Amino acid sequence: MVDGFRPADLQEALEFRARHPSIPIAGGTDLMVQKARGFGLKPDFNKPLLFIGHLRKLRQISVRDGNIHIGAGVLLSELIINDKISEALKMAVRQMASPPSRNLATIGGNICNASPAGDTLPYLYAVDAKLILKSVSSERIIHIGKFITDPKQNTLEHDELLTEIIIPNKIFNVSYYKKVGQRKGMSLTKASFQGLADIKNSNVLDIRIAFGSVAPIIVRSREIEASIIGKPVSEINAAVPEILKKYATLIRPIDDARSSAAYRKRVSLRLLEDFLSKLS
Amino acid sequence: MKNCISKPINRVDAPAKISGKAKYIGDIHFENQLFAKTVRSARAKAKIVSIKTPTLPDDYYIIDKNDIPGINRMRTVVSDHPIFAEDEVNYIGQPILLVVGPEREKIYEIVSQIKIKYKDEAAIYNLEEAEVKKAVFTEYSYSKGEPKATFQHAERIIEDEYRTGRQEHIYLEPQGITGDYKDGCMYIYGSLQCPFYIEGAIQDVLGWDSDRIRIIQSTTGGAFGGKEEFPSLMACQVAVASIKTKRPVKMIYDRDEDIICSTKRHPSIVRYKAGLNKNNEVVALDIDIKFDAGAYSELSPVVLQRGMFSATGVYNFPNLKVRGRNFMTNNVPSGAFRGFGAPQTIFSTEMLMHNIAVKLGTNPLDYKIRHLLKRGYPTCTSGKIRDEVKLPEIIEKVEKMSWYRRKIGKHKKFKGVGLSLFLHGCGFTGKGEATIKGKIILKKNGDTVTLKVSSVEMGQGAETCLRKIVAHTLSLPMKKVICETIDTGLIPNSGPTVASRTIMIVGGLLRQASLELKDRWNDANEIEISKTYKHPDFLSWDDDKFEGDAYPTYSWGTNVAEIEIDPVTYEIDVKKITAVYDVGVPIDEKTLEGQIQGGIVQGIGWATIEVMNSPKGKLTQHNLTDYKIPTSMDVPEIECEFIENPYEFGPFGAKCAGELPFVGAPPAVAAAVSNAMSVPIRNIPITPEYLMELDKHED
Amino acid sequence: MKIEFVLNDKKQVIQVDPASRLLDILRDDFELTSVKEGCGEGECGACVVLMDDKAVNSCLIPVGNIEGRHIVTMESFRKTERYKVIEESFLEAGSVQCGFCTPGIVMSTESLLRENPKPGDNEIRDALSGNLCRCTGYNMIIKGVKLAATRGKGLW
Ligand SMILES: Cc1cc2nc3c(=O)[nH]c(=O)nc-3n(C[C@H](O)[C@H](O)[C@H](O)COP(=O)(O)OP(=O)(O)OC[C@H]3O[C@@H](n4cnc5c(N)ncnc54)[C@H](O)[C@@H]3O)c2cc1C
Ligand code: FES
Ligand code: FES
């Protein structure tokens, strides 16, 4: 009999985590579907569930040292209305799932689920978000790119929980986001693109580019970004073919029920081109 | 002046539905009920070598072909689908047996322990392979005029090919049926469209007379044709199970199962050879229609017939040759779906006309107008267009509402406008109505009138409209006119709830009976009047030659679609649909608008986002995550108007309206996309993937 | 696991496997059949109920998550003044056909109007984007919601 545990606070949750093999469950919007077996049947979990969605400590959004700390249990619907959250992230979250499921789904769940189609991920990769992973005895802070290793794979230890997401204090004055789904309302992502840039005096001071759903993990290349940084915007146009060529080797999508590899690749590069064209 | 019958009233069934009180089959608890789960074929085509089942605990049962006392086939047009597979399976999802018992968890466990050994055989996965292997279920043809000679003298010959995709109904309530064998009688409850189809199917399977069979409809959560023939299969299965277990057996599908095994809209390929005269008018047309019927024929022959008889759309092609073939493939069977074969051929012909016009450099509307049918013209099957064709008025009106001509003149890339013209044959095809001879009963008791029909309410508004026809005729308030429960023990067979026939045919009989009752109102406290359909004498139909009046009359319409395409991603945004229809006289404008809005949106879905592929016989999109239908954010503004054109034999002049709106939207959207991208569109759904490929080829 | 929660204004204590879907508990154990199952994977919205006044998909909720929460279904919401306004408006606008989507849509409407008593067209479309309807094509539902917002001024 698979049962579960509802800790009173984070400490209790971490203690349970340390003692028992368990599955953390926040909103359950990923887990309940992944483990669903059909109408009228209980989802099939092979380990006790650790309910964490209600934990106060995980539900806060705060600013510390200028960085924004988002609790792993913050709901998608809460992100949309919080004024500490950037418009760029809100834009992605508003297009995730549907209003009733956004009242359940958490940002931590989206990250830990580690799907290449996870819609908070391109933004979080682009801004170099860091994650706080806690156990009873330790705490580590790692870059999101080090946390997600493969589709559905992350480096969470059996005794750990994701507690916070840190968004570094950094301002971008250009932001471009596009999610391509099968339809306008509620749709999983076929391909998505997040572009951020800091342009001053017609120079690219910083640029971040991330692609979702077109490779086993989110595609971001510091190397290519570095090759653009420092350039006057007037030179970008000429560099576009070269930039596209470089990203083309990193974008390795698949054919599936929702789209084709060819479309995903072409559209990703077109979105990149569109973003770059808007810089000058 | 608007006809006063058209004035909208509130739907009689809505309050129970809004408040959540209405009971659908899944909401009804049967004392002592057992649940059933179907074990299905995992192979597209195979012999069943062996089936190993575990030892069953008490109260759990396996029901299969050996439990069928009568014929192991589902009765329909072609009764070829086995209730339970015998020694072979022909599609993935074909039912083999049921596991029945009190606990769903336990049933699930038993199902997972059943081991089936197959010996695979060469399967046919699509229309191309089926044509090579000559796997034809049905082939029909008809012709008119002198096609051969006209082609020989044609100034110009254009050949083209069009394709449409598979579509799933996605009625929001999945299929569900309960069978209850009690006191020597079989009671079937469920979500269904055609109670007497089920009665017939049960008769075959049990070998019983109809007096021991009762089919009772529960509130039905949408159907669109998907609950026309399919529930018969489920009903036969649970009937047999209930006899074996002596308890009520309830079978409710979950969404995945429903999508995997229920019928779909026929995928199609339509090939044309058009002969043009020196004025560039199409004077000869050769149409070759291919439908993927899936693994069993079932009612595909009549779907194909409607497809063939609608294939010339609203046009008069004096010389015509039409061939239609249903192919056997090892895909899930295709079946009834709103429009019934007509949407495929109307789409193709509309796009053919559009594409020829564009190629000739003329305005598609002007080009189409040169070919329109008129009163007195022969139909494609050499019948006669007897009633006035108000297409000129329809076109004028839509033009005023949408400024179509002005917009198409100001062409901008990625922005487009498209127009479709279409019709729908009212009622059953050919001799259908004459054979069925629908019957209705009207019963007066004091100041209340009960109408007894087998036409069901499934969302389309039948109950409201039929009651309204009677109430209006007798000048009674709606609440004094009630519908008898849909229970085959209590109602006469007025035919199935299909083919947009409910208002025109069944409503027509009710109108006649009401007029008679009105005359006799004061004769007695209790009066019963029954009416049986009589096919008008002037209609003739030869079912062997496909000659004569395929339909008694037609409803007509036009749609103008305005769309925008995202220049980066090729996503289509349908901005607006303007629609004008002639459905005779609307019985209720609000209910009718509901049919129009819903039908158009379903049509847009089919034309744009609803992708359902079946490589190697296995559906790639088998849940609502992958198979997408439009949401509230995907639908355009829809403006619609009517042109009144009373039909002599319809109640208050009404004709058909339920399927018509679906038919018009796809070609209008496709024409708009073609206009926006300056490419001919030949296939739907028009996905961004397909558009990107087209754009690549064109530039 | 023992779960305490409020269901339609009544406190309930149940002993259940916390992984059970709220949807099944409501339909099977409490016989609240206004809550429908159309997909079981969060896609259709037929199962939407209110949790602390907000629309949620009951098929996605493990009951372990409802401890201390207030769940409302149509069975109690239909007794309210606000419901009456929604019912009248839906009737008048022709927002209902087969009705299988309707209870879920009424719940999403209530959730929207509580947050935003004067929603614009796009806000309504967004709020209902998790409720599929195959019959109506939505526009007549949107009209119904707008009508309810106007008529029920002051109620939300
Ligand atoms: C209908 C529908 C539509 C959807 N649409 C989208 C969409 O458009 N875009 C998108 O990106 N996603 C979408 N999703 C997926 C899902 O809603 C999101 O990924 C959501 O953010 C998951 O959050 P949750 O709290 O519900 O996760 P849960 O299901 O509770 O958990 C997901 C995973 O994360 C783990 N986990 C959760 N929290 C923690 C933690 N604090 N520490 C450690 N591990 C943890 C769980 O063990 C589990 O493995 C959709 C889902 C549904 C049902
Ligand atoms: S049943 Fe819950 S969203 Fe469909
Ligand atoms: S009314 Fe039928 S699904 Fe909405």
Tokens found for residue B242: 């209930």
* Average pLDDT of the segment spanning B34-55: 98
Residues C6 and C71 in one domain: yes
- CATH assignment of the domain containing C43: 3.10.20.30
| 3-state SS, residue B486 | coil
Whether residue C115 lies inside any domain: the answer is: yes
Query: Quick one: tokens of B6?
Result: 């058209």
* φ, ψ for residue A155, nearest 5 deg: -100, 25
Average pLDDT, chain A: 96
**pLDDT band with cut points at 50, 70 and 90 for residue B46:** very high
The answer to whether residues B602 and B684 belong to one domain is yes
| Average pLDDT, integer, range B469-495 | 97
DSSP code string of C105-123: HHHHHHHHHHH-SS--HHH
Domain count along chain C: 2
- Residue A148's pLDDT band (cuts 50, 70, 90): very high
Q: Which among C28, C56, C76 is the end of a domain?
A: C76
Residues C72 and C6 in one domain: yes
Of B468, B503, B521, the position where a domain reaches its end is B521
Per the CB < 8 A criterion, the answer to whether B32 and B102 are in contact is no
**Spacing, Cα C120 to ligand 3 middle (Å):** 22
The reply to whether C61 and C31 lie within a common domain is: yes
* Closest in A2, A98, A186 to C19, CB measured: A2
Q: What is the pLDDT of residue A40?
A: 86
Verify that B575 and B491 share a domain, yes or no: no
CB-based contact C28 A40, cutoff 8 Å = yes
Residues B437 and B408 reside in one and the same domain: no
Task: Give domain status of residue B467, yes or no.
Answer: yes
Residue pointed to by tokens 């809004």: B18
Is A274 in contact with B689 (Cβ distance < 8 A)? no
**Domain boundary residue among B261, B293, B328?**
B261
| Residue with token string 């038919």 | B663
- The answer to the question of residue B458 being in a domain is yes
Residue C156 located in a structural domain = no
Cβ–Cβ under 8 Å, residues B591 and B563: no
Residue nearest atom 3 in ligand 3 by C-alpha distance: C133
pLDDT at B699: 42
Q: How far is A16 from chain C (nearest CA, A)?
A: 16
Residue C100, in any domain of the structure = yes
Is the same domain home to C100 and C129?
yes
What ligand 1 atom has the least distance to the C-alpha of A112? 34
B50 in a structural domain: yes
Residues sharing a CB contact under 8 Å with residue B365, sequence separation 6 or more, in sequence order: B395, B404, B405, B408, B419
- Cβ of B689 and A260 within 8 Å? yes
List the one residue out of B109, B87, B105, B104 whose CA is nearest residue B96: B87
Q: Of B235, B261, B287, which marks where a domain is finished?
A: B261
Nearest to B630 among A183, A188, A267 (CB): A183
Q: Is B601 part of a structural domain of the chain?
A: yes
Please determine, for the modelled complex, whether the ipTM score is greater than 0.95. Answer: yes
Residues C114 and C58 occupy one common structural domain: no
Point out the ligand nearest to the CA of residue C132. 3
The alpha carbon torsion through B393, B396, B401, B405 (nearest 10 deg) reads 150
Residue B478: burial class (beta carbons within 10 Å; 0-12, 13-18, 19+): middle
Measured in whole angstroms, the distance separating CA A260 from the mean position of its chain's CA atoms is: 23
- Comparing A3-12, B2-11, B629-638, C33-42, the range with the smallest average pLDDT is B2-11
Q: Which domain holds residue B451?
A: 432-521
pLDDT score, position B1? 45
Separation of alpha carbons B24 and B177, rounded Å = 10
Residues C61 and C118 reside in one and the same domain: no
Same-domain check for residues C63 and C118:
no
- Residue B2 reports pLDDT greater than 80: no
Residue B112 lies in a domain: yes
Query: For the whole model, what pTM was predicted?
Result: 0.98
Number of independent structural domains in chain B: 3
Residue B36 lies in a domain: yes
Tens digits of residue pLDDT in A169-217? 999 999 999 999 999 999 999 999 999 999 999 999 999 999 999 999 9
Query: Domain span at residue C96?
Result: 80-151
What is the phi/psi pair of residue B232, to 5°? Answer: -60, -40
Domain boundary among the residues C76, C99, C134 is at C76
Task: Indicate whether B110 belongs to any domain.
Answer: yes
CA distance B512 to B531: 8
Contact: B688, A180; criterion CB under 8 Å: yes
Domain co-membership, B561 together with B641:
yes
Residue B230 lies in a domain: yes
Closest CA to A252 of A243, A261, A260: A261
Pair B616, B497 in one domain:
no
Please check whether residues B601 and B658 belong to one and the same domain: yes
Nearest Cα neighbor of C101 from B599, B459, A96, B263 is B459
- B3 vs A: CB within 8 A: no
Strand segments, DSSP code E, in B151-276 are: 156-164, 176-182, 185-190, 213-217, 249-252, 268-276
Residues B174 and B218 in one domain: yes
Indicate if the pLDDT at residue B387 is higher than 70: yes
Beta bridge partners of residue B476, listed in sequence order: none
Angle subtended at Cα B165 by Cα B655 and Cα B308, rounded to the nearest 5 degrees: 45
Give residue B411's pLDDT.
80
Q: Which of residues 5-24 of A touch C (CB under 8 A)?
A: 6
Domain assignment of residue C46, yes or no:
yes
Q: What is the dihedral of CA B69, B74, B80, B86, to 10 degrees?
A: -40
Q: Do C70 and C98 lie in a common domain?
A: no
Check CB contact under 8 Å for A263 and B571.
no
Tell me the CATH number at B462.
3.30.365.10
- B563 with B683, same domain: the answer is yes
Tell whether C90 and C60 lie within a shared domain. no
Structure tokens at B558: 């036009």
Contact present, B575 and B562 (Cβ < 8 Å):
yes
Say whether both B568 and B443 belong to one domain: no
Distance A181 CA to ligand 2 centre (A): 20
Q: Which chain C residue is nearest to residue A77, measuring alpha carbons?
A: C54
Q: What is the side-by-side order of every strand in the sheet holding A61-64?
A: A61-64, A67-71, A161-167, A130-134, A139-143
Domain harbouring C104, CATH code: 1.10.150.120
Compute the average pLDDT of residues B230-249. 98
How many CA atoms within 13 Å lie on the side-chain side of B286? 14
Residues B569 and B588 in one domain: yes
The structure tokens 């060469």 sit at B122
Residues B465 and B487 occupy one common structural domain: yes
Domains in chain A, CATH or no CATH each: 4-168 (3.30.465.10), 174-277 (3.30.390.50)
Last residue of a domain, one of C16, C48, C76: C76
Whole-angstrom Cα distance, residue B83 to residue B73? 5
Domain shared by B242 and B209, yes or no: yes
Cβ of A258 and B626 within 8 Å? yes
Residues of C with CB under 8 A from a CB of A: 1, 17-21, 24, 28, 37, 40-43, 45, 48, 51, 54-57, 59-62, 64-65, 67-68, 108, 111-112, 125-127, 129-131
Q: Are residues C126 and C110 in the same domain?
A: yes
* Mean pLDDT, residues B501-513: 97
For the stretch C114-150, pLDDT in tens is: 999 999 999 999 999 999 999 999 999 999 999 999 9
Same domain membership, residue C143 and residue C109: yes
Token pair, residue A76, equals 């998608």
Ligand 2 pocket, C39 CB below 6 A? yes
Contact of A55 with A108, CB cutoff 8 Å: no
